[in-house]
Chains A and B, each alone.
Chain A
Amino acid sequence: MNSAVRIEGVTVVLGGAFTALKDISVEISPGKVVGFIGPSGAGKTTLMRAIVGRQRITEGAISIFDLPAGSPQLRPQLSYMTQEVSVYSDLTVRENIAYFATVFGVPKRQVKSQVASILQTVHLTDHAESMVQELSGGQKQRVSLAIALIGSPKLMVLDEPTVGLDPVLREELWMLFRTLAKQGTTLLISSHVMDEAERCDELLLIRDGALLAHGSPVDLQKQTKTTTVEQAFLTLVGGRKS
């Protein structure tokens, strides 16, 4: 296997009217943390939805682990955390994780232990029996992330996973992401916080549905003759030299 995700000339026209992605081509190697960076409305979420197979592609092709995106065989190998908190607010934290674990196909005997270990990973053990609707924004966000961890998928697609989290927790999650990547997991993470971009192995800079740049944070800084990712981003977006 050469690449985890291969995107070839992908164009997505939403509802037959709005061109959300224009002719995007990129290849992502396994075990990398890849940041999807760009202003809101740039097409980051649409690209993620296309990768997980939830969004139909108008033109081009996406393959994940050499299978076309959306193939049933891929479903047990990937996880998708949407931007909104996509969990059941009228269930407890434990009930949520246990349900999704069953749906994911975790064997019955392992559901309990897996729920317990995931709760620990996202620091929600003390809130396991709380209703999701009673949690704070950051805690809800972690329940949603917990579900993406079920079954240790090889590809994790996380749409703004650290929004609303305090700096300490965000630091811990980035350590978790790094650990997962070291174990071979490919993580695609969208963000518009630039200090997070610096922590990624590779960055995709997206604006108006087009891929502006792809490379490591250092590459992008060199390319734009800047010293921070934020400056590099502004240079590329504005098309101006600073």
Chain B
Amino acid sequence: MSLRKTLATTKRVLGQLHHDRRTLGLVLLVPVLLITLLKYVFDGEPRMFNAIAPIILGIFPLLMMFLVTSIATLRERTSGTLDRLMTMPMSKTDLIFGYALAFSLLGLVQACITSFVTLGLLDVTVMGGTLLVLLTATAAAFLGTTLGLFVSAFARNEFQAVQLVMPIIMPQVLLCGLFVARDRMARPLELLSDVFPLTYSVDAMKQVASQTAWTGTLTKDLLIVFGCGVVALFLGSVTIRRQES
């Protein structure tokens, strides 16, 4: 392991995004536009919007970082650059940590913009304050990145990678408690939602929205989100083979 090589990889990944202004624009601005749209969807129900907006702030980073990372790592796997890196004196952790750091940072920047607009301009109030929102959103971005890294191993091309959002992320969104409280769902679905990591990301955001103090539940939620990310990161590193058969 080498910190220098990890940071060089982070810098390289961010450099690629820096040159790709359109992707960068889409990643950073689309969430803001969507959440603004949502405000006017709930024009007659401002209290409802106030309840939903923070949840969305926990879902967007995960969803978008999942997409960006799965495509980015798929390209690495299929373009020959991974072949090259794996014959060089670089450990797999340098590569994987480099990616995780780059996209978590991107997620943080995205969360800053979205939170600024949501909390500052759209009049959404959260009891826990902006910093906790950012922390929770970054944890969600980290989880999205690591899931994307892992899942990209199961896609052979970009079409498949994009489609994987539907079976991997969508069920988690449907069951996370955004539409109906989880204990009101059919019991098997409630149990299923217990093992979905996104549930805890959303739950953490709900805690931040409704509690002024840092609660034990928030700690537990964040640890689960972070822990799932670490597990996905480990699984992702297993899917990157030094030697192919």
Question: Which A residues are within 8 Å of any B CB, using their own CB?
Answer: 14-16, 49, 52-56, 70, 72, 75-76, 78-92, 95, 99-100, 102-105, 108, 131, 147
Contact = CB atoms under 8 A, between A and B. Distances in A.
A91 B5 contact: no
A90 B19 contact: yes
Interface string B1-25: 0001100110110011001100000
A89 to B, nearest CB: 8
B88 A75 contact: yes
Contacts of A55: 243-244
A87 B81 contact: yes
A56 B87 contact: no
Given A90-B16, A99-B8, A131-B19, A16 B245 contact: yes
B16 A91 contact: yes
Nearest to A81: B84
Contacts of A95: 12, 15
B4 A85 contact: no
B89 interface: yes
Interface string B82-124: 0111111110001000000000000000000000000000000
B12 A53 contact: no
Given A49-B244, A54-B244, A103-B88, 15 more contacts: A52-B87, A53-B87, A55-B244, A70-B242, A70-B243, A76-B89, A86-B84, A88-B16, A90-B20, A91-B19, A92-B19, A99-B12, A100-B84, A103-B94, A108-B4
A88 B12 CA distance: 9
B167 interface: no
A100 B9 CA distance: 9
Given A55-B244, A103-B8, A131-B19, A88 B87 contact: no
Contacts of A14: 245
A102 B5 contact: yes
B188 interface: no
B5 to A, nearest CB: 6
A18 to B, nearest CB: 12
Given A95-B15, A104-B88, A104-B89, A88 B81 contact: yes
Contacts, number: 85
B216 interface: no
B44 interface: no
Contacts of B9: 99, 103
A103 B90 CA distance: 6
Nearest to A111: B8
B238 to A, nearest CB: 16
A86 B86 CA distance: 12
A83 B5 CA distance: 25
A86 B80 contact: yes
A84 B87 CA distance: 15
A55 B85 CA distance: 14
A21 to B, nearest CB: 14
Contacts of A85: 80
B245 A56 contact: yes
Which 8 A-B pairs give the minimum distances between C-beta atoms? Answer: A86-B80, A75-B89, A102-B8, A82-B80, A84-B80, A80-B87, A99-B12, A52-B87
Contacts of B4: 102, 108
A91 B83 contact: no
A54 B19 contact: no
A56 B244 contact: yes
A105 B80 contact: no
Nearest to B16: A90
